Structure 1
Amino acid sequence: MNSWPVQDAKARFSEFLERCLTEGPQMVTKRGAEAAVLVPAEEWRRLRASAQPTLKELLLSSQALTETLVPARGLPGRAKRRTPTALR
């Protein structure tokens, strides 16, 4: 994977994009640290399709299994609250 400083990627964007399309993903660095990657659109779609759902997506889905996420109250073997005794 080629690495491009952000200044070069901005100044030579057409070349940057063309290399992405012909050679594959291109890394962009900012102050020497990896900052972003430009990938072809088809590869991005493939990656998104194979990604696992986020916790938010799982909780909002119609197949959410909330019974396993939130334990039931009053499980056997748990200590029960004592009832307060009257003051004398």
Structure 2
Amino acid sequence: MRKYEFMTIFPTEENQFKTGLVQVKQVLSEYGVEIEKEEPFGDRELCYEIKKQRRGRFTLLVIAANPAKISEIDKRLKLNADILKYMFVRIDT
């Protein structure tokens, strides 16, 4: 298991944010990912428009995941309409 920082950007509407976060956590748990830390970054202005949104709600998750499963998780999350953007960054320890 490797550690990753998983940054997500959701729409600022409360219901889309909550459902999106629940869906992300559900997908991660299906692939055996351990969420070690969850840190909300709040609402921020986006540098450019994403899916007709100028603001987004950022959340950082520190996770431990099998590297082989990251591409499968990526495919599942691309289908989620409640996520504006996301990115996995491997943490070197």
Q: Which has the higher contact order (CA 8 A, sep 6+)?
A: 2
Structure 1 or 2: more strand by fraction: 2
* TM-score of Structure 1 vs Structure 2, range by shorter chain: under 0.3
Larger helix proportion, structure 1 or 2? 1
Which has the higher Rg, Structure 1 or Structure 2?
Answer: 1
TM-score by length of 2: 0.25
Structure-1-length-normalised TM-score: 0.25
